[in-house]
Amino acid sequence: MNQIRDPFVNELGGPVAAKVFVHPRILTNAHATPFSGAIAVIDGDIAAIGSLEECREIAGMDAPVTELGGAVLLPGFFDTHLHSGAMALQFQSPDVSEANSLAEALAQLRAWNAENPGTGWVVGGRWNANRWLAGETLHRRDLDDVFGDRPVALNTVDGHSVCLNSSALEQLGIDDNTEQLPGGVIERDESGQLTGVLRENNSDVARSRVTELLLNDCAELLDQVQQHLHRFGVTAITDLDGEQVRDGYLKLAAENRLRVRVRKGIPVTALDRAIAEGRRTGDGDRWVVTGSVKFFSDGALGSHTALMHEPYESDECNCGVEVTSSTDLASDVARANSNGIAVSTHAIGDRANTNVLDAYEATAEITRQHGLRNSIEHAQHIIESDIDRFQQLNVIASMQPIHCTGDYPLSVTLLGDRATHHYPWHTLMERGALVTFGSDAPIEPVAPLYGIHAAVTRQRRDGEPPEGREPQERISVADAVDSYTGRAADAFGLGDRLGTLEAGKYADFVTLDADPFTCSPGDLWRIRVQQTVVDGEVVYQLNEE
Residue 329 to residues 294, 317, 386, Cα–Cα distance (Å): 11, 25, 17
* pLDDT band with cut points at 50, 70 and 90 for residue 195: very high
Q: Which residues pair with 288 in a beta bridge?
A: 262
Residue 526 to residues 12, 116, 481, 520, 540, Cα–Cα distance (Å): 44, 32, 15, 10, 18
Judge whether 73 lies within some domain: no
Judge whether 485 lies within some domain: no
The pLDDT value given to residue 541: 97
439-473: per-residue pLDDT in tens? 999 999 999 999 999 999 999 999 999 999 999 99
Residues 105 and 175 in one domain: yes
Closest CA relative to residue 341, chosen from 259, 392, 278, 430: 278
Q: Which residues pair with 46 in a beta bridge?
A: 41
CA distance 505 to 499: 9
Please state, for a pLDDT cut of 70, what percent of the chain lies above it: 97
Q: Angle of helix 219-231 relative to helix 243-254, nearest 10 degrees? A: 80
Asked if the model's pLDDT at residue 102 lies above 80, the reply is yes
CATH number at residue 92: 3.10.310.70
CA distance 209 to 396: 31
Scored b (16 or more CB within 10 A) or e, 31-59 reads eeebeebbbbbbbebbbbbbebebbbbbb
Number of domains in the chain: 3
The pLDDT value given to residue 89: 86
Residues in the chain: 545
Asked if the bond preceding 24 is cis, omega within 30° of 0, the reply is: no
Q: Residue 35 belongs to what H/E stretch? A: strand 35-42
Q: Which runs of consecutive H residues, i.e. helices, occur in 35-101?
A: 52-59, 84-90
- Across 246-259, average pLDDT: 97
Question: Nearest-5° angle of CA 203, CA 207, CA 209?
Answer: 125
Domain containing residue 459:
297-475
CA distance 537 to 457: 33
Residues 53 and 140 in one domain: no
Q: Which runs of consecutive H residues, i.e. helices, occur in 282-409?
A: 326-338, 350-362, 364-369, 384-392, 401-406
Asked if the model's pLDDT at residue 212 lies above 80, the reply is no
Residues 417 and 516 in one domain: no
Do 340 and 346 meet the contact criterion of CB atoms below 8 Å apart?
no
The pLDDT value given to residue 314: 83
The pLDDT value given to residue 202: 92
* pLDDT band with cut points at 50, 70 and 90 for residue 3: low
Strands (E), 88-193: 122-127, 152-156, 161-164, 184-188
CA distance 324 to 528: 41
Judge whether 385 lies within some domain: yes
Last residue of a domain, one of 192, 214, 236: 214
Do 493 and 373 meet the contact criterion of CB atoms below 8 Å apart?
yes
Residues 454 and 523 in one domain: no
* pLDDT band with cut points at 50, 70 and 90 for residue 544: low
Judge whether 420 lies within some domain: yes
* pLDDT band with cut points at 50, 70 and 90 for residue 208: confident
Asked if the model's pLDDT at residue 130 lies above 50, the reply is yes
* pLDDT band with cut points at 50, 70 and 90 for residue 7: very low
CATH number at residue 521: 2.30.40.10
CA distance 123 to 89: 7
The strand pair at 343-347 and 288-296 is best described as parallel
The pLDDT value given to residue 6: 47
The pLDDT value given to residue 216: 72
410-439: per-residue pLDDT in tens? 999 999 999 999 999 999 999 999 999 999
Q: Could you tell me the pTM of the whole model?
A: 0.88
The pLDDT value given to residue 249: 97
The pLDDT value given to residue 65: 98
- HSE-up (13 A, CA, CB side) for residue 175: 4
- Across 314-320, average pLDDT: 92
Residue 205 to residues 137, 200, 230, 491, Cα–Cα distance (Å): 21, 9, 31, 31
CA distance 353 to 332: 16
Residues 512 and 458 in one domain: no
Which residues, in sequence order, are CB contacts of 52 under 8 Å at separation 6+?
Answer: 20, 22, 37, 38, 65
Judge whether 277 lies within some domain: no
- Across 9-14, average pLDDT: 46
CA distance 442 to 87: 5
Over the chain, what is the mean pLDDT? Answer: 94
Strands (E), 218-326: 234-239, 261-267, 288-296
Q: Residue 208 belongs to what H/E stretch? A: helix 201-214
Last residue of a domain, one of 425, 457, 475: 475
Residues 374 and 522 in one domain: no
Residues 392 and 453 in one domain: yes
Last residue of a domain, one of 475, 491, 523: 475
Which residues, in sequence order, are CB contacts of 258 under 8 Å at separation 6+?
Answer: 226, 249, 252, 287, 288
The pLDDT value given to residue 16: 66
- Across 512-531, average pLDDT: 98
Residues 127 and 4 in one domain: no
* pLDDT band with cut points at 50, 70 and 90 for residue 209: confident
- Across 91-120, average pLDDT: 94
Please tell me whether residue 152 adopts helix, strand or coil conformation.
strand
Judge whether 486 lies within some domain: no
CA distance 508 to 529: 14
Residues 108 and 192 in one domain: yes
